[in-house]
Amino acid sequence: MVVPLDDNAGPIIQQGVHLTSFRTRTKAADSIEDLKKDYPAQLKDAEFNIKSVDLGPDKGKWERVIAGRFTDKSEARALARKIKMASPYCKAVEIEKDNEFGIHLASYKTAEKASRELKQLQNQFSRLIRDEEFSIRRVDLGDKKGVWYRIFAGRFKDKKSALALTQALKEKHQYAEVIRFSR
């Protein structure tokens, strides 16, 4: 479902393209490399997220693989159209609201290394972060530092909500810093 942006008030809603869904987060994370191989031109520099959704008692919980991060729904729809030319399914969907917070766990120079480490972090902290979402975000830090792929846990409305989990991660000797998501 594409949620329209509201120019009058409220936070900006990020858009992405829903590519596929799996019952487990591990399978969803594993699929990202396959998607990059299947759609190299369309997803070459795409940022990927895995979003947990509960479709109710009949369909249950799913892990959606989402590509892109756009503030303009027409950009998400344009990417969806490009992928639909080669795939029977993809859909533009909401990723997150601007100004939500996440817990930064690690950064890597390649998406492949970030994907491998994401799996390890999910296994290592599955009890502690059971209900939280993990994601990998492509971040361009400018000419000197370049592009990095950051691993995040959770989506929180305010910094205070993330602090308890951050402290628990630090007690287990895991780097964990609260960062505000923005455009």
The answer on 123 and 60 residing in a single domain is: no
Same domain, yes or no: 111 and 47: no
Domain that holds residue 40: 13-97
Same structural domain, 73 and 116: no
**Structural domain includes residue 6:** no
Are 93 and 109 found together in one domain? Answer: no
Per-residue model confidence as pLDDT tens digits over 8-34 = 444 556 788 888 888 888 888 888 888
Q: Which of 48, 64, 97 is the endpoint of a domain?
A: 97
Residue 92 shares a structural domain with residue 107: no
Number of domains forming the structure of the chain: 2
CA dist 147 to 2, 108, 111, 137, 139, Å? 28, 9, 10, 10, 6
Task: Give the up-direction half-sphere exposure of residue 78: CA atoms within 13 A in the CB hemisphere.
Answer: 7
Residue 129 sits in a domain whose CATH number is 3.30.70.1070
Boundary residue ending a domain (69, 97, 125) = 97
Q: Tell me whether residue 4 is in a domain.
A: no
Can you tell me whether residue 68 is helix, strand or coil?
Answer: strand
The predicted-structure confidence for 76-133, as pLDDT tens digits, reads as follows: 888 887 776 655 445 545 555 556 888 999 999 888 888 888 888 888 888 887 545 7
User: Is 112 found in the same domain as 169?
Assistant: yes
| 18, 90 contact by CB (below 8 A) | yes
Q: Which residues of 134-169 are buried (b: 16+ CB within 10 A; e: fewer)?
A: bbbbeeeeeeeeeebbbbbbbbbeeeeebeebbeeb
Amino acid at 116: R
Residues 55 and 120 in one domain: no
41 domain residue, yes or no = yes
Same-domain status, 167 and 138: yes
In a domain, 113, yes or no: yes
pLDDT, tens digit, for every residue of 23-81? 888 888 888 888 888 888 888 878 888 888 887 787 788 888 888 888 888 888 888 87
d(CA 47, CA 69): 7
Pairing of strands 61-70, 48-54: antiparallel
Q: Tell me which of 70, 97, 124 is where a domain ends.
A: 97
- Domain match, 117 and 153 both: yes
